[in-house]
Structure 1
Amino acid sequence: MTQPARTKPAFLRHLPLAVILGVAAIGAFALRDYLTFDTLRDNRESLLALREAHYAALASGFLLAYVAIVAFSLPGASVASVTGGFLFGLAAGTALNVAAASIGAVLIFLAARAGLGQTLSAKMDTGEGRLARLRQGLRDNEISALLLLRLVPVVPFFVANLLPALVGARLHNFAWTTAVGIVPGALVFTSIGVGVGEVFDRGENPDLGLLWSPQVLGPLLGLAVLAALPMLIRAIRGRKDI
């Protein structure tokens, strides 16, 4: 006689997300004065020397540190992206930034899905009426919705990691749309980092408002429209079938 599968106690399923939220709350106060451009400015010569002597070790350490920043929603993600460009250049810096942010995002997704996401997804699967239609709509437009979360700059990164887990998005779709969708923003921040040394020499801090400039925001919104097209087409076809 086969034994029924054991389910984890509720508190264990919610523990990973609770740990992330707890560390994020502590980090918001304990690290906000350390993960800054001033810290990068003060240590840039040491970091450059370390890069010249131990490139692979520094790249690995940077990747792990950035994953931790994203996974625990710590302050300083923008500083980390700029640092990636400063230390490793546009190509390698963008690759490291995208990889680290994607891994960290997947870790948050898995933590949220294991607890609260599993509960909400089960309710949506067994729901009827409006809840069932919402669930089906999310499934039909999952890829477009996930790309929109990444491409529209007004959606906070942590929210874009959490919401898909709560509504039962598929892990592989979440992972690849995250990696693809954050590339444009990563290119912007990494390119700022490439020239950050000259900015520091002028006694200034990098202008992260570049993301909101028309030449950057315009293409991002264009990509967002392209991502939304499948949703619009399905909506139009659905109305015609009524």
Structure 2
Amino acid sequence: MRQQSDPQRRGWLRHAPLAVILTVAVIGYFTLRDHITFDTLRDNREALLAFRDANYAAMILAFIAVYLVIVAFSLPGAAVASVTGGFLFGLPAGTAANVIAASLGAFAIFLAARWGLGEALAAKIETSEGRLKRLKAALHENEISVLFLIRLVPAVPFFVANLLPALVGVRFFNFAITTVLGIIPGALVFTWIGVGLGEVFDRGDTPDLSLLWEPQILGPILGLAALAALPLAIKAIRGRKDI
């Protein structure tokens, strides 16, 4: 009995990190969505700026830690956090802080999913036959392009872009490099919005995130997505020619 229970216990332990993330995400959605807002930032901006001026290093480390937790547990407020990075630290430092925090949070979700459900699912796909195994093989041949594409297409939720690659067994290094580089364009836009946040608050307004869908912003991002998709299109065309 003990020998049988030990593998079961190890199996449950492997799934525990992802289960914790999903549980906290659900609880956080209902308890924090009305608290991590631009109104909260506006009401506390003087205290935040004063602390930043007195303790810059501590402030930027605390910001990265809080943003990392928001991303790792898929809590509401990621957009607010990104804009806050620009508001507190300016464009260069704010973008760097946003990219570091969001990347580390993404790594946490990926590794939690890979350690548990992803490992088992990838093994099942590997031993399966037919279309599913062919799709996995095609993904591994084009991992960098596909991962960049997932990161750059605005319609793909950030949580999905972190979780899905872990479940299909992509290499962590490829996931990491495409995450860090792929989120830079979006991080720049959010940080840039945050740089002018003080003036927005002074006018009594709230940040207009619809700016993200303006052609001059969305166009370059979609252009990068097209570049990421180009190797896939070329391979598909060559494959048809070979047929």
TM range (shorter): over 0.9
The one-letter amino acid paired with 2:125 is M
Aligned to 1:144: 145
- How far apart are 1:9 and its partner, in Å? 2.3
Q: What do the CA deviations read for 1:180-201 (whole angstroms, capped 9, x no partner)? A: 0110000000000000000001
Name the residue aligned to 1:115: 116
| 1:126 aligned partner, one-letter code | T
Structure 1 residue runs without a partner (length 5+)? 1-5
Q: 1:58-77 to 2 correspondence within 5 Å?
A: 58-77=59-78
Deviation at 1:33, TM superposition (A): 1.5
Match of 2:201 in 1: 200
Deviation at 1:121, TM superposition (A): 0.5
Aligned to 2:213: 212
Letter of the structure 2 residue corresponding to residue 106 of structure 1: F
Q: For each residue in 1:148-173, what CA deviation from the matched residue of structure 2 results, as whole angstroms up to 9, or x when unmatched?
A: 11101011100110100011011010
Q: Which residue of 2 aligns with 1:125?
A: 126
- Counterparts in 2 of 1:169-208, with a 5 A limit? 169-208=170-209
Deviation sequence 1:46-86 (CA, Å, 0-9, x none): 11110110000000000000000000000000000010000
The CA deviation at 1:241 is 2.0
How far apart in 2 are the matches of 1:141 and 1:174? 12
Offset, 1:177:
0.2
2:239 alignment counterpart: 238
| TM-score, L = length of structure 2 | 0.95
In the aligned structure 2, how far is the partner of 1:130 from the partner of 1:39? 49
> Aligned partners of 1:179 and 1:115: how far apart in 2?
24
User: Which residue is equivalent to 1:3?
Assistant: none
Distance 1:239 1:123 in 2: 29
- Listed one character per residue, the Cα deviations across residues 6-31 of structure 1 (whole Å, up to 9, x for unaligned) are 96622111110000000001111111
Q: Distance in 2 between matches of 1:35 and 1:129?
A: 46
**Number of aligned pairs?**
237
Q: Cα offset for 1:233?
A: 1.2
RMSD: 1.1
